[in-house]
Structure 1
Amino acid sequence: MRSADTDTDHTSKIVGTAWGLLILNTLGSAGAKTIVPLPRSLIQMATMGALVAAFALALAVNLRLRIRASAFLFLLTLLLVPSVISSVDLESGFGALFRCARLTLFVGTLWLLSRWWDGGPTFVRHHIRMYLAVLASVAAGAIVSPGAAMPDLYGGRLVGALWPLTPPQIGQYAAVIIGLTVLLLLGRQTDRTSAAVVIVPSLVLLALTHTRTATLGLLVGLALAIGSLVMTSAAARRFFTWAVLCATVAAVGFGSLLQAWFLRGQSQENFSSLTGRAKVWQALLAAPRTTSEYLFGAGLGDKSFGGLPIDNSWLAVYQEQGMTGVVLVAAIIIVLGGVALLRPPSLSRACAIFLISYCALASYTEAGLGDASPYLLHLAVAASLLAAPAPAAPPSAPEGPRRRVPRWAQRSEVI
């Protein structure tokens, strides 16, 4: 007979695999040209197959449909209402209904996996491991074909040469796992060697993408997260002090280089218009709308307007799910942020604050909060960190007094 620990490990692996498949589903099918041309239809089949497989695995380990209700999942489920109402008109074509079905399956999988949301770092580790694998494929592509990985079409910025990933995607993944790994290291949940394996190459990839949103999100998110630990963690205070010192030295000694990296060779006019995004936003807001479109949007689409990407979560939600969707997405951010602020200082709270603040900042120049996307997965991890610990099962036999293990003898888990 298998022991309870063996069953738990087996279940944990299945849950981790399901989470990895959700991440694979959100990688997308549009991006740079790859070394080996991959038909978009093939990529879409792979990503949708990953979502179906994730749902099947989550259902297989949760046949009794035990879930942990949360305001995040409730609001996310309500977001399906304006999505369906606006998509059934087929104004955005049959693709809108397909995207609704995808979002429904995505939310359903999160509900099934919520059984294991216990306030611990389990899903943080799943998140880091899967995105580290994605970044490993990016690094491999850059080694195999540097020209394809940094094409002139993207201004020499790093892209996915094995899987079609854009610079903002790579920057986002790198920034998120860097921030989470730094926090795990400060909380003594991983060792320095394991942390360095994640942080150092991810920083290199982030620098090569020249992604300003991801860089600012990383810095602001870490500042807020570490700030929440400063009063209770000596390690957080030391890290914060050294970070401020290093930032000051970098600003004084390498200010011109940092400015050149930040501007990416753009003119002042192009930079002030956010690389042309502002023109698309103005056109979207000025477009005439019916009452139904104002309330429920025009249906789930490809996050574009007039053939150009919207690149703003709030305007993308307004376009596709109307003001109803905007209110629900805002409620998700506010509820998660409010719960995080009310929690006592802890590593889980700090990680949640980092993810919430990163998503909130990135929402200004990136779309994704209203549909199945990495941003919703980041917020789902935050929700799992803010969940109350599950009640422990009573022991089957009385146990003797436990000997307290000294702090120095406790071993941290590798990522």
Structure 2
Amino acid sequence: MGEDPMRGAPRDRPVPRPARTPRAVAVVWALLGLNTLGSAGAKTIVTIPRSLIQMVTMGALVAAFTLALALNLRLRVRPSAFVFLLTLLLVPSVISSANLEVGFGALFRCARLALFVATLWLLSRWWDGSLTFVRHHIRMYFAVLGSVAAGLVISPGTAMPEYYGGRLVGALWPLTPPQIGQYAAVIIGLTVLLVLGRRADGAGAAVVIVPSVVLLALTHTRTATLGLLIGLTLAIGSLVLTSAAARRFFTWTVLCAVVAAAAFSSALQAWYLRGQSQENLSSLTGRAKVWDALLAEPRTTAEQLFGTGLGDKSFGGLPIDNSWLAVYQEQGLVGAAVVAAFVVVLAGVALLRPPSLQRACAIFLISYCGISSYTEAGLGDASPYLLHLALAATLLAAPAAAPRPPAPPAPRRRVPSWARDRKVN
């Protein structure tokens, strides 16, 4: 794209780092993102066997861990409550999966989660509260959206199929509308915040924001849109008292939203309903029926505490589409408590930090994941949502202490000549 859209004005106050972040760290982060893209979704232009997709995604995770280990051979890690609690989540996952109630795939998913967490531990060495990983995150998902846009141009019929109600899907890689909407919403929110914090120029940010907004609109994803709007409102609200740019943006956004709601109310309502009836909408497109059946399922005490094992986030052949119920189903009440703990810890740390751009980005990510958790699964397994929260953890990490410069040598004391003569005598 020529000029890097994510590189903006120099920092007002540089954050000290323990060491220069290697460029290969961006590759590790991108490989983690590739692993979380999933292997099931829409039909693509060229049919890709699911086994091949799984080999690519799992191979990406192995490559990410290997490269991270090569970069951090001395195993230097930074303390992180988020990654520590994520490590604890492995306990109920392994206990429940060892029963093989959902097959050997549960143990495979446990190994995948363990490798994912281990890679985060290795990367924690470079978590210093800077915006480095934010830029990696935006570039990574912008590249994914680029493949979606390319598929739309090459084969519009495949990219917007009737079996998805004409919603945008991945025609080159099997991505569902909620996935595309999630990636678009996250990079839109982060880029807007970088512009407000004067860490990205307007022209470069427009290259990211404008096509992402178009793709988000074509997915008709309500959860991603609401998460973006609410998350940005909370994030910008945290900057209002300290940033004039945030105050201006907030004021103009509210005015534009009121005008748009008045002028295009019917069009916005039609987009929101997606041709569904009020009854279907009230049941969250059938999700509520699956949730009721899941909660009514009789369980043993062990299943209530530790779940039935890591599976494909479905119940009775239907997707659960709720992170908390999916965790309860697969990792039990213990797993749900651990997930709630790391979300609460991240939110608490973000609220206690003084206002800053890093804090605003973390608030956006945490609030977005919290809103999406109601209609999307993923907080209990290796997923984009855990990667978003890991990014929030990098932003909330305390800056490393600046290395002290070596002390200057003590001045040499000159001895008077009479003292030297006396010493000699």
- TM-score > 0.5, shorter chain as reference: yes
- 1:148 corresponds to which residue? 158
- 2:146 corresponds to which residue? 136
Cα distance change of structure 1 residues 196 and 396 upon mapping to structure 2, 3 Å threshold: farther
From 12, 16, 22, the equivalent of 2:32 is 22
CA shift for structure 1 position 371: 0.1
**Residue deviations 1:277-318 (CA, integer Å, cap 9, x gap):** 000000000000000000000000000000000000000000
**Secondary structure of the structure 2 residue equivalent to 1:351:** helix
- 2:97 corresponds to which residue? 87
Contact 2:239 2:356 in 1 (8 A): yes
**Secondary structure of the structure 2 residue equivalent to 1:12:** coil
**Residue deviations 1:22-81 (CA, integer Å, cap 9, x gap):** 000000000000001000000000000000000011101100101011110111000000
Distance in 1 between residues matched to 2:328 and 2:352, nearest whole Å: 30
- 1:326 corresponds to which residue? 336
Q: Which amino acid aligns with 1:382?
A: A
Structure label with greater radius of gyration: 2
Runs of 4 or more above 4 Å deviation: 8-11
CA shift for structure 1 position 117: 0.5
CA shift for structure 1 position 144: 0.2
CA shift for structure 1 position 134: 0.1
- The percentage of counterpart residues that share the same residue type is 81
User: What is the TM-score with the length of structure 2 in the denominator?
Assistant: 0.91
Aligned ranges for residues 10-409 of structure 1 at < 5 Å? 11-395=21-405
**Residue deviations 1:84-133 (CA, integer Å, cap 9, x gap):** 00000000100000000000000000000011110111110000000000
Structure 1 unaligned blocks of 5 or more: 1-7, 399-415
CA shift for structure 1 position 397: 8.6
Distance in 2 between residues matched to 1:216 and 1:200, nearest whole Å: 18
Q: Which amino acid aligns with 1:343?
A: R
Distance in 1 between residues matched to 2:402 and 2:60, nearest whole Å: 33
**Residue deviations 1:323-360 (CA, integer Å, cap 9, x gap):** 00111111111110000000000000000000000000
Contact 1:174 1:205 in 2 (8 A): yes
Distance in 2 between residues matched to 1:219 and 1:23, nearest whole Å: 24
CA shift for structure 1 position 193: 1.1
CA shift for structure 1 position 9: 10
RMSD, matched Cα: 1.2
Distance in 2 between residues matched to 1:274 and 1:241, nearest whole Å: 32
Q: Which amino acid aligns with 1:212?
A: R
Distance in 2 between residues matched to 1:329 and 1:246, nearest whole Å: 37
Cα distance change of structure 1 residues 387 and 9 upon mapping to structure 2, 3 Å threshold: closer
Contact 2:95 2:306 in 1 (8 A): yes
Contact 1:224 1:353 in 2 (8 A): yes
Contact 1:26 1:47 in 2 (8 A): yes
Q: Which amino acid aligns with 2:240?
A: V
CA shift for structure 1 position 395: 3.6
CA shift for structure 1 position 12: 2.4
Q: Which amino acid aligns with 1:119?
A: G
Cα distance change of structure 1 residues 154 and 136 upon mapping to structure 2, 3 Å threshold: same
Contact 1:103 1:372 in 2 (8 A): yes
Distance in 1 between residues matched to 2:145 and 2:220, nearest whole Å: 15
Contact 2:21 2:126 in 1 (8 A): no
**Secondary structure of the structure 2 residue equivalent to 1:230:** coil
Q: Which amino acid aligns with 2:181?
A: G
Count of residue correspondences: 391
Distance in 1 between residues matched to 2:131 and 2:322, nearest whole Å: 30
Distance in 2 between residues matched to 1:306 and 1:43, nearest whole Å: 25
**Residue deviations 1:191-250 (CA, integer Å, cap 9, x gap):** 111110110000000000000000000000000000000000000000000000000001
Contact 1:11 1:61 in 2 (8 A): no
**Secondary structure of the structure 2 residue equivalent to 1:394:** coil
Contact 1:178 1:198 in 2 (8 A): yes
User: What is the TM-score with the length of structure 1 in the denominator?
Assistant: 0.93
CA shift for structure 1 position 11: 5.0
Distance in 2 between residues matched to 1:388 and 1:11, nearest whole Å: 16
**Residue deviations 1:130-184 (CA, integer Å, cap 9, x gap):** 0000000000000000000000010000000000000000000000000000000
Contact 2:231 2:367 in 1 (8 A): yes
Contact 2:159 2:168 in 1 (8 A): yes
**Secondary structure of the structure 2 residue equivalent to 1:224:** helix
Distance in 1 between residues matched to 2:206 and 2:25, nearest whole Å: 26
Distance in 1 between residues matched to 2:128 and 2:21, nearest whole Å: 15
Distance in 2 between residues matched to 1:290 and 1:273, nearest whole Å: 28
**Secondary structure of the structure 2 residue equivalent to 1:163:** coil
Q: Which amino acid aligns with 2:129?
A: G
